[in-house]
Structures are given as C-alpha cells and as structure tokens.
Chain A
C-alpha cells in the first residue's frame, strides 16, 4: 500500500480532513463548514462547531478512504495563519492523533498549501499566483528560495470585503456567489474608489463607499443592487488584475495560477485569463474542490515538507496565527 497522509485544515470556517497518498492521489476529502445565522465568523462559535464535529469528520474521511487510522503514515495540520481559537482545534486534533496512534506530525502554512495544491492539480511548475479568499489576498511567486509576496491587501481581504457588503445588502452567507449572480444583470457602472498603492491593494474605502450607496436616497431609484454589485466587482477585480499584471511583467513567469475561494468567480477568471494571454503565460484555475480551504492541500504540503525536511517535534507544533508565507524557505523547490 502507498504511504498516506491525513491533512487537517482548520484556519477559519472550514474544518476539513483530506487523505492523500505520497504521489498526490486524494482518497477522501470531507469538509464541515460553519455558516453563521447572522453576522460574520465569530471565532468562538466557529471553534465550538469544529470542536463538536472533528471526530465525525475524521471518521467519515477514514471510512470513505476505506482505511483505518493505523494505515496513516503522516499527519499534517494547518499551523498558520488563521483565527487563533480555530487553528488551535486543528493543532490539538493533530497532536492527539499523532500521540495516540504514534504517527509523525508536520505543521503547514495554509497559504503555501493553496499554491502547492494548485501546482499539483493543474500540473504546472512555476506559476505567478493570485490567491484570493475570505482571509487573504496575495500575489506571489517563487524567487530566491521562497514564495515571495509581490502584492497584498493592506486591509480587508477581497472575499471578506464582498461577503461583508453582501451582508449589508441583506444577503446571507456566503455572499460572494450571490453578488456574482446579481452583477450579471447590470452594466451600469457607478464609480467607486479604486486604490492601488504600488503593488498593494486597499479595499476598505471601496467597501465603505459601496455600503453608502445602499443607504443613499438614490438607491432603488437611479440604481439598484445589481448595479452596485456590478460596480463593486468590476472595481475590486480591476485592482486585483492590475497588480497581478504588474507582477507578471516583473517576474516574467510563464504560468499564472488563480487559487482560493474567490477563484470560483467567473468574471475574475476571465480578467486574469486575459492578462495571462497578453503576457504569453498559461492560465490555470485550481479546481473548485481544491480551491477553497481543504484538508487535501494541507496533506499534500505536509508530504512535501516531510520529504524535504522531516517531521516536526511536538514542541514545534504550536500555532502561529500571524505567520507570513514568505517567512519560510521552500526546500522542496530548490
């Protein structure tokens, strides 16, 4: 039997277990997603749900893969970055299983995992990647031994911004897909703040301005929600694409990878595809199943790290909620 890794993702609303072998074949992937009844993600409530459900998820993943926990050779977990209370659950589960069944353990950076699963599943080698999700907005590429960050958000993450706006508009979680749908009904652009600072982005002013449009007297008369959704998307994605294009021109990479939960947005896909073509680069979107937060990507990155540098000791497995992806050297790529 092939060597197997159990990957545990627990950084935000998704608690996920993925079972993947050392060649990259995924045997099972089970997600449990926290959906707030109102408001956003309250870390304490997310933690409670994950704490209540983790054993069920682990068992379902093992059953679906038709294996027992004793067949697992390596446990990988998301060690950074994320919501502290939620990261802790993943780390606890990993340490517990590791010590109970005596399996080697390895901690993984969540952002790097998003890129690594993309490289595996899209079969590309050295992409410039745009990683867009509820918690992160990062343009990065591999240079001088690291995943260097070329541009990132200075305040809100793109997914967070869209979800927050959707909530203000009375749409429930997750708002992204609903905003995308509404935007298709409009081509009436209302000007909104477009903030690119060098290679970095800022979405907070855009969010506030869009929110004020909903509260304005003209709302429902001169324009409707479709128009605001359309303008919000066009502005935010225009910013993302501009920064990605600049990084692409600078790094001269021949592949572009779009990953993270917001990668599912068709309009963003078409814009990034357009600039990739202009720079003669191959464009790939990570398959939806592996684009959002998932345990398989943690498992795969754990395998890469384990093969290059070995396991972590238990006292090296504390969570690091604020750790950046460019903090690490990437031995499996040098």
Chain B
C-alpha cells in the first residue's frame, strides 16, 4: 500500500465487513473490507467475498447514474475484497431523528421516498433500508449507504419487502410517531414512482399488508 492510501481508524465492525476511515490520494474515504471467514474453505470464502464486493460496487455505480445520492466508488480491490468509497459527511438519520421537528421529518422522508422509488422503478431493491443506512449531509441531502444486500429485482414482492423493513424499523425505534414519518415517505414514493411506472406503487404498497400477515413477520406483541 502506497503512502497515498492510508487506513486510519476502524469506524464500524459488522458481522460481514469492517469499515475503516482513511485517505485515498488526498480524499477522505471509507474502506469497506469484507473479512475472511475461516469456517468455510478458502476457495469458497474467496469466491463469496469477491462476488459480494463486486456486486455492491456495481450497484453503487449503477444507482448513481439514476441521480440517487450514494457514495462514489473510487477503487474496487477484489484481491483484498475492499471497496474504497467517498466518505459522506453528515449524520445517520437514526441519530438525529428524535431531534427533528415535524416539518423537517416530513421533508426528509419525502426525499427518502423519492430516492427509494427511483431505485425500485429501475429494478433495484436496497435490501436493508434502515435509519442507520441513511445519512443526512450538512447540505440537508439524503445519502443511501450500504448496498451489501442489494439485489436486481423487478417484482412487487421484493419491493414491498423493502418498504416493510423500513416500516418495521420506524415502528421499533420511533414508536407511535412512525405513522407520520412513514406516510411522508409513501407520499414521496408515490410521487416519484408515478413519473414512470403508472400505478405499480399501489400494488407494492398494498402488498406490504400481505407480507405482514405472514406469521414470521408479525410482531410478537401484536399476536398475543
């Protein structure tokens, strides 16, 4: 590694990857390093890490062309299963949500709805839309991060599962107020979706209820 590339500190340790903050030719970057798993044989481990690294990097690059704010990819090092991407300054939505006033919440969730609708109508699902994977920049822009579970999919089912996950996160972390946020989200989602694929969003939103009615997705408290 040349002196132009420097990993400086670990900012997050996940089950699958470790995130480092550092510098890459003078730019502030994140190194997303997929950790080797010694329980599986080397050939398989290598193949999985390479495939997932490439898949995530490709998704980030592709999605950016739709005008969605995602970290820019600077380097894909599949030998070390690492993606070097732009460091996004700002706060995770999760950390600031409770301090926002209603108007701000509405604006942000509207924008998030629009971004997700753009993803969906282009045949992508994010796979892990949570408030920890959304960053609000100092300029009040929405950034989507972590495309590790991204998939190419154009089915109603996959898209509604995507929305359902966000709904669950909002319920569990923001309680009764989730409706306000989620409705603002849906508003933006509909607005953006309507621009191209007419009315498909109606089916997607309706299907959330069906996803929820399946046993394993029902919250335990609701079933008692």
Binding site for B on A (CB under 8 A): 143-146, 148-149, 187, 189, 191, 194, 198, 234-235, 237-238, 241-242, 245-246, 249, 271, 274-275, 324, 326-327, 329
Enumerate chain B residues within 8 angstroms of A145, measured Cβ to Cβ.
220, 224
**24 A-B pairs, CB-CB below 8 angstroms?**
A148-B220, A189-B43, A194-B44, A194-B47, A198-B127, A234-B40, A234-B44, A235-B44, A238-B40, A238-B44, A238-B45, A238-B48, A241-B40, A242-B40, A245-B37, A245-B39, A246-B15, A249-B15, A274-B38, A274-B39, A275-B39, A324-B216, A327-B215, A329-B224
Closest 10 CB pairs of A and B: A238-B40, A144-B220, A274-B39, A189-B43, A271-B39, A249-B15, A241-B39, A246-B15, A234-B41, A149-B216
Shortest distance in angstroms between A258's beta carbon and chain B's nearest beta carbon?
13
Q: Mark B183-199, 1 if CB is under 8 A from A, else 0.
A: 00000000000000000
Binding site for A on B (CB under 8 A): 15, 37-41, 43-45, 47-48, 127, 149, 215-216, 220-221, 224
Enumerate chain B residues within 8 angstroms of A237, measured Cβ to Cβ.
40
A329 CA to B224 CA, complexed, in Å? 8
Enumerate chain B residues within 8 angstroms of A326, measured Cβ to Cβ.
215-216
Interface Cβ pair total, 8 Å cutoff: 52
Known: A198-B127, A249-B15, A274-B39. A189 touches B220 (CB 8 A): no
Shortest distance in angstroms between A62's beta carbon and chain B's nearest beta carbon?
38
A198 CA to B215 CA, complexed, in Å? 17
Shortest distance in angstroms between B222's beta carbon and chain A's nearest beta carbon?
11
CB distance B15 to A194 under 8 Å? no
Enumerate chain A residues within 8 angstroms of B224, measured Cβ to Cβ.
145, 329
CB distance B47 to A191 under 8 Å? yes
Enumerate chain B residues within 8 angstroms of A235, measured Cβ to Cβ.
44
Chain A minimum-CB-distance residue to B40: A238
CB distance B39 to A198 under 8 Å? no
CB distance A271 to B15 under 8 Å? no
Enumerate chain B residues within 8 angstroms of A324, measured Cβ to Cβ.
215-216
A26 CA to B149 CA, complexed, in Å? 46
Chain A minimum-CB-distance residue to B48: A194
A246 CA to B37 CA, complexed, in Å? 12
CB distance B221 to A144 under 8 Å? yes
